[in-house]
């Protein structure tokens, strides 16, 4: 008998995880799985830190179960990439993933094929985004627009003057809105007098 765990997630206090739990327990009974643990999160799917999911993945690495049952794929992951990362880790740990709503079951050949297809679509989406960004940058260059951070404009004379007046590196940095490392560099690059002061 395979050891199964349920992962239940609801995104607001108004929803109750028991709705998902009922369907999943019924499915586990039909398949002859023994439910050894239930993990619950009452949190938005966009949140990276989820205690229930964290506990599930920790127990997965310890080999405490063979199958993960979820009501829907979007219950377990905050994005396609996150979903594929979770599936990939479960696959490496030889743990099956079963989704009630989408009828995905990585224990069978069709389920594994679906995961490969989802992965290919996600990779295509990433590549299209990268290509769109590159095209936008090329267009910006052709139009003469600056790309990236604007170069730092420093009043080197004022920085050296402030130092000669006895201001500390921190005071100068705060006044000119630059780092103390930049102040040191400017003073080093200028007259030997400043260089001695920094040393």
Catalytic residues: 11
Distance CA 181, CA 113 (A): 54
Instruction: List the structure tokens of 94.
Output: 């030889």
Q: Which one, of 38, 26, 100, 31, lies nearest residue 64 by Cα?
A: 38
CA 118 – CA 84 distance, rounded (Å): 8
Neighbours of 185 (CB within 10 A): 15
Q: How far is CA 156 from the centre of its chain?
A: 41
> Cα 191 from chain centroid?
48
DSSP H or E segment with residue 69: strand 67-70
Q: 114 with 120: CB under 8 angstroms?
A: no
DSSP 92-130: HTT-EEEETTTTEETTSHHHHHHHHHHHHHHHHHHHHHH
């Amino acid at each position: 008998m395979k050891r199964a765990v349920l992962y239940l997630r609801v995104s607001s206090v108004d929803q109750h995880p028991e709705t998902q739990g009922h369907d999943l327990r019924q499915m586990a009974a039909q398949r002859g799985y023994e439910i050894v643990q239930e993990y619950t999160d009452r949190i938005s799917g966009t949140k990276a830190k989820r205690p229930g999911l964290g506990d599930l993945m920790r127990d997965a690495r310890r080999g405490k179960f063979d199958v993960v049952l979820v009501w829907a794929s979007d219950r377990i992951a905050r994005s396609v990439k996150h979903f594929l990362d979770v599936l990939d880790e479960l696959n490496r740990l030889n743990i099956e993933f079963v989704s009630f709503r989408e009828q995905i079951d990585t224990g069978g050949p069709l389920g594994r094929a679906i995961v490969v297809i989802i992965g290919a679509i996600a990779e295509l989406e990433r590549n299209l985004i990268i290509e769109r960004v590159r095209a936008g940058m090329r267009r910006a260059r052709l139009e003469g627009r600056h790309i990236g951070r604007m170069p730092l404009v420093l009043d080197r004379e004022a920085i050296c003057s402030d130092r000669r007046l006895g201001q500390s590196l921190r005071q100068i940095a705060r006044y000119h809105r630059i780092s103390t490392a930049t102040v040191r560099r400017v003073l080093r690059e200028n007259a030997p007098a400043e260089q001695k002061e920094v040393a």
